[in-house]
Amino acid sequence: MALFERIREDINSVLERDPAARSRIEILLCYPGLWAVWTHRFSHGLWRARLYLAARLVSQVGRFFTGVDIHPGALLGRRLFIDHATGVVIGETAIVGSDVTIYQGVTLGGTGKGHGKRHPTVCDGVFIGNNANVLGDITVGENSRVGAGSVVLSDVPPNSTVVGVPAHIVYRNGQRVLITDPHEIKDPLSDALIALARRVDEMEKQLGGKALPVEPFAAEAAEREAYRDELERLRQYVSMGEGI
């Protein structure tokens, strides 16, 4: 595809997805996310030509002007839209498909110092909300959505919505996903919930199925009511000026 056709395609994709965009000239002059994508195409060409230092220098210049840090080794698909741009980081071995939307503060990063594929693969049509972190050699399936502020540490099936820290599926194929097992959340708090549920089961077994009294603290409740009645009587007595 010719250079100017790719530029026109990128601008049109932003115009379709961003309701704040009013004209093509505004997008061309005022969208640093678009500049970052174009800068990356140039730096990636240098990277493939094994001009590694030159590629890194170009990427750093783009980072300075756009606030987006895209490693020249990353693979980006067509019509990538980086909205608001600032703070986006895309690692060296990340792969981003076509028609992907990324908001500010998103990180497509690694989880260690290992070599090889260590960054995420984001498939076509994915939406990643602001300040989300997608970490490690994982895959986010086609047309999935990552909620703002989420931390994704495992694969996301296609057509799914994930939220949370760490992220878990809440929608899949348009249907709500109900979590019945605390293990599915994969949250440190889930261990405490599991231990609590286990303890409740043990207590029920010890009771042998016996029901607790309907009002186990009936005597205490009666004492509180009597105390409140006494306070109310004293308040009325003093308010009338008697006994002074």
Tens-place pLDDT, residues 121-167: 999 999 999 999 999 999 999 999 999 999 999 999 999 999 988 88
pLDDT digits (tens, 9 = 90+) for 159-196: 999 998 888 888 898 888 776 665 666 666 667 777 78
Task: Note the pLDDT of residue 244.
Answer: 44
Residue 203 banded pLDDT, cuts 50, 70, 90: confident
pLDDT for res 243? 43
More confident residue, 51 or 190: 51
Taking alpha carbons only, the member of 99, 139, 105, 78 closest to residue 90 is 105
Every domain range in the chain assigned CATH 2.160.10.10:
3-178
Q: What pLDDT, in 10s, does the model give residues 97-113?
A: 999 999 999 999 988 77
Q: In what order do the strands lie in the sheet with 101-102?
A: 81-82, 101-102, 127-128, 145-146, 160-163, 168-172, 175-176
Task: Report pLDDT for 214.
Answer: 54
Greater model confidence, 5 or 100: 100
Q: What is the mean pLDDT of residues 63-73?
A: 94
Residues above pLDDT 90, as percent of the chain: 57
Phi-psi map region of 228: left, alpha, beta (phi>0 left; psi -120 to 50 alpha): alpha
Which of 32-41, 109-118, 132-141 is least confident?
109-118
Backbone angles phi, psi at 170, to 5 degrees: -115, -25
% the chain with pLDDT above 70: 86
Q: How far is CA 211 from CA 144, 200, 202, in A?
A: 47, 14, 15
3-178 CATH: 2.160.10.10
**Is pLDDT above 70 for 215?**
no
Reduced to 3 states (helix: H, G, I; strand: E, B; else coil), residue 223 is helix
What's the pLDDT at 238? 53
Q: Note the pLDDT of residue 235.
A: 66
Q: pLDDT tier at 221 (50, 70, 90 boundaries)?
A: confident
Q: What mean pLDDT do residues 70-83 have?
A: 94
> Which position has the higher pLDDT, 26 or 228?
26
